[in-house]
Amino acid sequence: MAKREDIRNVAIIAHVDHGKTTLVDQLLKQSGIFRENEAVQERVMDNGDLERERGITILSKNTAVKYGDVKINIVDTPGHADFGGEVERILMMVDGVLLLVDAFEGCMPQTRFVLKKALGLGKKPVVVVNKIDRPGARPLEVVDEVLDLFIELGADDDQLEFPVIYASGRDGYATLDPAVPGTNMVPLFEEILKHVPAPEGDPDGPLQILFSSIEADDYVGRIGVGRVERGKAKYGQAAVLCRQDGTTQACKITRLYQFEGLKRVEVEEASLGDLVCVAGIPTLNIGETLCAPDCPEALPFVKIDEPTVSMNFLVNNSPFAGREGKYVTSRNLRDRLFKEVETNVSMRVEETDSADTFKVSGRGELHLSILIETMRRQNFEFAVSPPKVIMKEIDGHLCEPMELLMIEVPENYVGAVMEKLGSRKAELLNMGTRETGVTHLEFRIPSRGLMGYRQQFLSDTNGNGILNHIFDGYERFKGEIPRRMQGSLIAHESGTSTGYGLFNAQDRGTLFIGPGVEVYEGMIVGESPKNEDIVVNVCKKKHVTNMRAAGSDDALKLTPPTNLSLEQSLEFINDDELVEVTPKSIRLRKAILSKELRMKSASKAK
């Protein structure tokens, strides 16, 4: 077994918003990747439109920096639990991890999740306490919290001896003493070289590359991203692909790339420990191994966690179908969804009894809403049903997914939060107060109980609360949970909404639309405060007469409508409702548009 001392492979793992992508920016800048006068945007690794808008990482990204004579391959991973499938497989490509923890927030649910995966795979951690310049930072306390978490997750003695470094990604420095600010990232680079193991293996043995992710390229087709586990990969080399079902397929490496900075650079050959991109295998899937033809040995791959939430994607059949989208047929929808599954490992797509409906399952509401938002930006038009949790039968009992929920709120909002979560079958595990007057609460709650709660939480805490949750296994079914106490305001007829019609309707509840909006019968135009649906005529026009009376022509005062985002719409709808998604609009509607047919259906159900 030989070691390659000129290379290190490291992944950056952390809870969402603890500063992974910003830290990578600094490592890139200080390693001289960019020219002196090059204009570089912030969070340069988040290159997707949705990632930049929301300030989150959705797909893991690879980059490489040079420090002295050593090439450091860095993988930036997502922080949201919904993209946990990305994190799990990326850890297969690296030898060590930088565990980033916010110096103020400390260990959060996702910190626990990513660390558990890394320790389980035996990766060597380097703990980086980030944002030490933040007001209220408590770096030394946070290190104790991290140690407790390591012990709780069953780390071995070697992993417990983790090095700690303090950093400010925003100000671009790392230091070994939190009381003494540093001047640059050199201490962090040094810790990576010292503590992240160099790749080990047989550099002269037969080729083995394990593919952990897939990229699509319009010119060269599918590109497998993986790590050379043994031997050398050469441009033009013949090889065999070992599939997970035990079959093999002959293929050839038509292009070979490595990472330099943010670019993929074509190379002639790559050796043991290199992270490479291989083109030329059109049927490649994640978790497969590329081997030398005379030695086809597949490598084991990490088991990806199962989806916990599903929803139906349907062909849009509203009166406005086909007006705004380019891809509207069931064939368009089917092809796009099955294409998604090729690269999105933790997503499943199943066909249903109806040719127009597909069941899509993912790791959470955010995971599915990102897919919906991406598709609408690609000119697809379709409808989706409300998200539902996926139940399992374990030992003859019906079981449901549970979440570990962590909440931080100012003390005066604790009562309201506890009351709402109590009715949603949450049990309190832990409660503590921070010096800043913020209360930290930990609950265990059914995933169903969290659906539709985020909006409620924001109003109960006046936007001052922080809520994080993570999947925490299956437990026996907890009984019914009331989903939504309010009904919907439903448009009575097709037409265009008028100020007069809306003025009369706004007394009945909260409106979602303003004047001059086209509506159709059965479309949801607002929320009713009662626990029943109310049909309103928002297209009603004022009768024109030649009689004039004092006060009858006063200007009508309309309350501004509440505009729901895609996530809020998915949280709002009930089981008999759908969200119609087009490139230009998001509309809410009843699954059965006609009032008569809805009433017949309801009486049959009773």
**Is 514 a known ligand-binding residue?**
no
3-class SS of residue 351: strand
18 annotated binding-site participant? yes
Spatial separation of the C-alpha atoms in residues 524 and 386, rounded to whole Å: 14
Burial class (CB in 10 A: 0-12, 13-18, 19+), 304: middle
The values of phi and psi at residue 299, to 5°, are -100, 150
Strands 96-102 and 124-130: parallel
305 annotated as belonging to a binding site for a ligand: no
- Classified as helix, coil or strand, 204 is coil
Strands 2-3 and 7-14: unpaired
User: Is 133 labelled as part of a ligand binding site?
Assistant: yes
Q: In what order do the strands lie in the sheet with 7-14?
A: 61-67, 70-76, 7-14, 96-102, 124-130, 164-168, 173-175
Contact 460, 416 (CB under 8 A): yes
Give how far the C-alpha of residue 11 lies from the chain's centroid of Cα atoms, to the nearest Å: 18
The tokens for 132 are 């030490």
Q: Which two tokens stand for residue 454?
A: 């985020």
The two structure tokens encoding residue 47: 């290159």
Which H/E stretch holds residue 601?
Answer: helix 595-605
The 3-state DSSP class for residue 6 equals: coil
User: Residue 496, annotated ligand binder?
Assistant: no
Q: Rounded CA gap, 451 and 467, in Å?
A: 13
Which DSSP symbol is given to 311? E
Number of helices followed by number of strands (H, E) in the chain: 15, 37
* Calpha distance 212→199 (Å, rounded): 17
Query: Tokens 């949201």 belong to which residue?
Result: 80
Q: Name the nearest CA neighbour of 264 among 250, 274, 252.
A: 274
131 is in an annotated binding site: yes
Do 485 and 409 touch, CB atoms closer than 8 A? no
Non-local CB neighbours of 35 within 8 Å, separated by 6+ positions: none
* φ/ψ bin of 415: left (φ > 0), alpha (ψ from -120 to 50), beta (otherwise): alpha
Asked whether residue 19 is marked as a ligand-binding residue, the answer is yes
- The crossing angle, in degrees rounded to 10, of helices 186-195 and 20-30 is 100
Angle at 33 between CA 191 and CA 228, to 5 degrees: 65
Amino acid at 593: L
Instruction: Please check whether residue 73 is in contact with residue 109, taking contact to mean a CB–CB distance below 8 angstroms.
Output: no
Asked if residue 102 belongs to a known ligand binding site, the reply is no
Report residue 508 CA to chain centroid gap: 37
Q: Which of 47, 48, 60, 54 is nearest to 20 (CA)?
A: 60
Query: In whole angstroms, how far apart are CA 132 and each of 77, 135, 186, 253?
Result: 22, 8, 17, 46
- Rounded to whole angstroms, the Cα distance separating 21 from 57 reads 8
Residue numbers belonging to the annotated binding site? 17-22, 130-133
Residue numbers belonging to the annotated binding site for GTP? 17-22, 130-133
